[in-house]
Every structure is written in C-alpha cells, then in structure tokens.
Amino acid sequence: MMNQQNTLHIIKQYAIITVGLLISAIGWTAFLIPSEIVGGGITGLSTLLFFAFEIPIGPSLLIFNIILIIFGYKYLGRAFAIKTIFSFTILSILIQVLQIYITEPVVSDRFLSAIIGGMLGGASIGILFSQGGSTGGTEIIAMLINRKRNISPGKLILLMDVGIIASSFFVFRELEPIVYGYVSMGVVSYVIDLVLTGNQRSAQLFIFSKKSKEISDVIGKDLGKGVTLLKAQGWYTQRDIDIVLVIVRKRETSNVYRMIKEIDSEAFISVGSVMGVYGKGFDELKISVKKKAKEKSPDA
C-alpha cells in the first residue's frame, strides 16, 4: 500500500511539473520570443543565440543543461538531479515543437508580451519549486560557484540574468529589448513569490469590541482558531477592555469579518499582513536543532 501511494505521489509530482513546463514553454514561444524579448536564465541565453545566429532554442537549451548537469550532478542530489534532467529535457522539446506552430506574437504590444510572458514564466518556476523541481541552468552555475566563493546563489542568479538580458543590446542595438527583458524579469520574481506563498499568507487581527468574549467564542468554535485576549485600557474612556488577537490565513479573513459584524457592527478592527506564522495549524518551523549530548563526569 505504501509503495502504491509513493508511486502515485511521484506520478502526481511529475504531472504537475509537466504542466508547469508547458506554461513556461507557452510564455516563451507565444509572447517573449516572437516579440524579440530576451529573458533570464539559460533559456534567455539560448534565445539570445537564436536571435544572433538563428541557432534553434530547443537543442541549444538541452546542450547547455546537459553540460551543466554533468559538472553539477554530484552537488545536486539524486532526486533533484533527476527532476532537473526531466524538466529541461521536456522544456527543450516543448519549446522546439511550439515554435513550429507559433510564429507570430499572440499580442502585438511588446510591453504586454513582457508582462504576460513574465507572469507565465514566474508561475511555471513557482510550480516547479513547489514540487521540488528545477529547469537547471543558472541555478546549477550558482550552486557550483557558491561552493568555491561565499556568494549567495540568489545574488549570483540575479547577476547572471541581468548580464544575459543586457547582452541583448549587442544583438538588437536597441535599449527597448533590454527594458522589456528587465520588466519580464521583475514580473517573474513577483509571480514566483505569489505562487509559492500566496495561499500561505496570513493576517493578524486586533479586534476592539465591547463583546470581545462573544466574538472570541464564535471565532474559536466556528473557525477552530486560537484566540488571545489582551488586557488593555482605553486612554480616552480610561476603561479596561479586552482586545481580541487572532491570526488566520488571508483567505479566511472575510469569514472573520462576517462573524464580527453579526455580533458587533461597531467593532474596531486592525488588520496586518504577517511575514510568517509557525506552529500548529500553520507552517512548520524547518530548522534543524542539534542536541548536544551531555557529557557524563567521571563521578556520575
């Protein structure tokens, strides 16, 4: 039973990764490449070679990644390396096939193409990351350099992407493609964060009401969320009050508002976004803690 569940889980992972790769391929072939916009990563470098020397993007993307995976295989880990090889192989094939059928940009406006292409690219990378996958490329280079130099992989990837996009000036002899490329890169970064953390974002609510206990009961029972009552004093009234503190997922805030309004329509609510919430019902704190073994003294 366990083996069957593991097999189904792996099939599901690879199916989701394939969908993510298809989204990326559409972003490149339907929006960025026909509009002569060079993005980041090895795909961006392959696109640059396509515009400069008409070298097909699919094969060059595959060759670049094969070379990188040979050098970086032992540093990637077996599972990650297999997913990476699968990803860049499928992406190379999809781009090569879709280029045959898509010869004109879907939208004529280059700025809009940069935005939509960036959105699709960011969504694709976010999906791949969520499944523990990657298309390789500049990520492998960053990992290899990071082993020799104390530079964060994030900064290395950013520098490489900036350099690849800036190189498009030598092909097009114009600044516009560079600007559109950076716009696309910015959108990619934003959408990656949105895909990876969008559903996990939380909100912290401070609720000021004369019916704080009733509100606490409803939130605790109906939503099953932990509620804390903070003792405070109103400066103007000089009266003691209970402030209701509750942390919920952002998607749940509308339900909380509805509950509060039904109990006390005059309640004052302060809402703030929370960077991270760790504990029961939220995210797990993924930090390895090494327990030091107690050394026994000779007299013990």
Q: Which domains does the chain have, with CATH numbers?
A: 2-198 (no CATH), 201-274 (3.30.70.120)
Paired tokens of 265: 């329509």
Amino acid 132: pLDDT: 74
Q: Is the dihedral of CA 140, 145, 146, 147 positive or negative?
A: positive
Amino acid 30: pLDDT: 94
Helix%, strand%, coil% for the chain, nearest 5: 65, 10, 25
> In which element (H, E) is residue 26 found?
helix 2-27
Alpha-carbon distance of 165 to 180, in angstroms, equals 9
Query: Which pLDDT band, with edges at 50, 70 and 90, does 154 fall under?
Result: low
Partners of residue 202 on adjacent β-strands:
249, 274
Alpha-carbon distance of 156 to 299, in angstroms, equals 54
Alpha-carbon distance of 129 to 119, in angstroms, equals 15
- Please report the DSSP string for 30-68 in residue order: IIITTTT---SHHHHHHHHHHHHH---HHHHHHHHHHHH
Does 297 have pLDDT greater than 60? no
Looking at residues 264-292, what average pLDDT do you find?
70
What angle is formed at CA 113 by the lines to CA 109 and CA 119, rounded to 5 degrees? 150
Does 177 have pLDDT greater than 70? yes
Residue pLDDT, tens place only, 61-82: 999 999 888 877 777 677 778 8
Task: Say what percent of the chain tops pLDDT 90.
Answer: 39
Per the CB < 8 A criterion, the answer to whether 19 and 125 are in contact is no
Paired tokens of 271: 């809402």
SS3 assignment, position 278: strand
Per the CB < 8 A criterion, the answer to whether 157 and 139 are in contact is yes
Q: Residue 229: what residue type?
A: L
Paired tokens of 289: 């803690």
Alpha-carbon distance of 61 to 50, in angstroms, equals 11
SS3 assignment, position 284: coil
Residue pLDDT, tens place only, 158-168: 888 899 999 99
pTM over 0.85: no
SS3 assignment, position 229: strand
Burial class (CB in 10 A: 0-12, 13-18, 19+), 146: middle
* Beta-sheet strand order (sheet of 268-274): 227-233, 240-249, 202-208, 268-274
SS3 assignment, position 173: coil
Task: Say what percent of the chain tops pLDDT 70.
Answer: 87
- Please report the DSSP string for 74-97 in residue order: HHH-HHHHHHHHHHHHHHHHHHHH
Highest mean pLDDT among 39-53, 131-145, 268-282: 39-53
